[in-house]
A and B are shown apart, each in its own frame.
Chain A
Amino acid sequence: MSRADRRTALTALAAVAAVAAVALMPLVVDDYWTYLATSALILGLVAASIGVVTGRAGMLSLCQLSFAAVGAYGVAWCQAHAPGLPFVVKALAGTLLAVPVGVLVGLPALRLRGVNLAIVTLTFAVAVAAVLADQGFPGANSGTIVERPGFAETDPAYFRFVWVAFVIVALLLAWAGRRRLGAAWLAVRQSERATAALGLSVVRIKLGAFAVAAAVAGLAGALSAGQTGVLTAATFSPLASLSVFALAIFIGAQYPVGAVAAGALVAFFPEILRRLGLPQDLGDVLFALGAIQALSMGASVVGRARSALAARAASREAPAPAAPPPAPARAPDRRRPSGAPVLEVDGLTVRFGAVVALDGASLTVPEATVCGLIGPNGAGKSTMIDAVSGFTPYAGSVRLDGRAVDALPAHRRARAGLRRTFQHDRTIAALRVGEYARLAAPAGTAERDIAEALAFLGCPAPEVPLERVDVGARRLVELAAALCGRPRVVLVDEPAAGLAEAESRDLAERLAAIPERFGAAALVVDHDMELVQRACAHVTVLDFGRVIGEGSPAEVLSTPDVVAAYLGEAVPA
């Protein structure tokens, strides 16, 4: 068994043992502690929901307890109007009720970010708390008590019931975290543009995150209703949302361990302080200070622990094997190149206020050809790529395989086969090399194809986390991922930035081989003329937003106009 396999097996064993141990806990402690532990788990679920929407997807939501309130409301309503229903059904009803509310609150997240979104969610929390305080929960006036399920009426039994629910949710979230969904959340958190360039819909990912977070919080509220039986608005106050938020950020509740730790801290810490004779609100102050400290270091407690463990594991392992040089392992499925243009850009004009970044620029990329786009700094090359790939509005037309794509948003253009990389690294640092490449590839792409594309460009092995990869190699991973998307054409923005000379030469060879290996055309922007000469069959030159020359690299680079554009005027020829 390899070292990694052994470690996974041990972890799984430890996890099962822990789950069993917790389930048996009520046998050894009295009901008081069991009750507290149940509260800890419920809070842990709320913390986990923050872990999803803020920890993973990066959206500041300060109203998670309001979603919990909705879940509790659902249960209370069922209790008041249909008491015969099994508790599990009532809880499910409450959970599902929270989902559309979550989506509604998530809609502002499509246009609002950061603190604006935070404040909107906070004012929502205030509104919900006020309405609840006034109206009360269904059945509160008549003194209706939410009944626990028949099989979990005692505190220990209810604790086990909640623990089972928690474990299921944690497993589901962990599972989702490893799949495309989880990777997509991490992508949106880091860069919406990068996510769209991978062909993913930012709208769907964001709303999905809110829906999932609301569901988890709603479940927590439903379980809380069962635990306490009687519901008050004070439990779901905006302050409570703020507190759990700060705690979740500090601990790092996007990891299951973090969620449990967060819940446990809130539930047990005050009790422990009380036993020690210390003031209980010391805990809150410590949390506040801890959150400030965590924010200053940029990572949560659990996040840092994981990084440290991973770093230690990495230093003990052998270094990742260098990828083999490119060798055509299998013939790619490609059509016979017809010489027809795969990308036609016609009269592209881009204005930023009074500045004209592109002025009627046109170019064509024939099928299965590597073309270059060069020009001095500020000439408009990146603007061209942004416009063609749909990230900047423009006047003019862009056609892919003869079809106009002007109406398509960026992520649809990517899915249609018009992919791009970015000038400044936009890989998703929280993912591993393979996970990131998989995001770009159409669903159902074989592991082998992805690994091959990565190896072709000399990328690190798929298991390596991107944060341990240096910037130059990350750019290569970005390019490999774009190729995994089986594009018709890929726009490559300065791939050689940060590479040493020998690596740059290797890259030029590989770029030249893209049409053969992947059946794709490429448009390469770079300042490294050696790379452009080696890789490109045809070069277009931009200066001040206009095309000032095109032809083969040798021709173009010796044209006096082009030399003058690069070196500045008034240089003797």
Chain B
Amino acid sequence: MSGAGLAVRDLTVRRGGSTIVRDVSLQARPAAVTVLLGANGAGKTTLLEAISGVIPAAGGEVLLDDAPLGPLGRRERARRGLAHVEQGRTAFATLTVEENLRAAAADRDAVEAGFALFPELRPRRDTPAGLLSGGEQQMLVLARALAMRPKALLVDELSLGLAPAVVQRLMTVLGELARQGVALLVVEQYAGLILEVGAHAYVMARGRIVYDGPCEPLRESTDILRGAYLAADVAGGAR
């Protein structure tokens, strides 16, 4: 897919009187996994919600393939190709696996593509999503977002509460998606596994970006992350 992917410029987001996200700028290029790390409370979820339109932004702009998304509501942004996998278990619990996919898919092919991506869901196609295991639900949620055939995909803590083996599986799929040309912005608390598939990384602390650079330095040494998560000084970190 051509285009500049997802761009965020000087985004500021307020919630309940406090400024949660301050002047954040980042870029998620197509055909790449862009990783966004940070401790809990750093503002990552709020940032994603402002990008997809779940909550309004107080300042700054969001562009998808160089087209500003500003005045558009969440449904419009979704129609333009911006998918958002929200934090938590957001599968439609009373709908079956297949119905979850059909809700997002325009045609039969998109539904089948979902099963192709996660064959382990095929035998469960008529099971209500609420009865699936955590890992299966997250696979479903990811497949559902992909059934929209998005240009950009925001993923918020897909691995929350899942066992490492399942997380590994999901991360691999994310890497595969990037190869297919989607621009991915992935938020994670667990740095280890996502950094393996990431092409570029940002680290957020207290609403600001404190690291903007390649993934290797973060993979090689935990100092930078420790600094941002566990409050030691932030060393290095290209800006």
Contact = CB atoms under 8 A, between A and B. Distances in A.
A507 to B, nearest CB: 14
B41 interface: yes
Interface string B183-218: 000001111110000000000001000000000000
Given A529-B230, A530-B231, A568 B192 contact: yes
A567 B195 CA distance: 11
Contact of A376 (B16, B189, B220): B189
A571 to B, nearest CB: 4
Interface residues of A, number: 28
Contacts of B40: 376-377, 527
Given A528-B231, A529-B231, A568-B188, 9 more contacts: A377-B189, A470-B17, A498-B18, A528-B41, A529-B230, A567-B190, A571-B191, A571-B225, A572-B220
Interface of B: 15-18, 20, 39-41, 157, 160-161, 164, 188-193, 206, 219-222, 225-226, 229-231
Contacts of A377: 40, 157, 160, 189
Nearest to A567: B191
Contacts, number: 69
Contacts of A233: none
B229 A470 contact: no
A567 B157 CA distance: 13
Q: Which 6 A-B pairs have the closest CB atoms?
A: A568-B190, A568-B192, A530-B231, A470-B17, A529-B230, A570-B192
Interface of A: 376-378, 425, 469-472, 494, 497-498, 500-501, 527-530, 533, 557, 563, 566-573
Contacts of B229: 529, 566-567
Nearest to B157: A377
A446 to B, nearest CB: 31
A425 B206 contact: no
B231 A568 contact: no
Contact of A533 (B16, B157, B225, B231): B231
Contacts of B161: 378
Contact of B189 (A469, A500, A568, A573): A568
26 contacts: A376-B189, A377-B160, A377-B189, A378-B160, A470-B18, A471-B15, A472-B18, A494-B41, A497-B41, A498-B20, A501-B206, A527-B39, A528-B231, A529-B231, A566-B189, A566-B230, A567-B222, A567-B225, A567-B229, A568-B188, A568-B192, A569-B164, A569-B193, A571-B222, A571-B225, A573-B222
Nearest to A374: B230
Nearest to A497: B41
A563 B160 contact: no
B134 to A, nearest CB: 8
Nearest to A425: B16
A572 B226 CA distance: 12
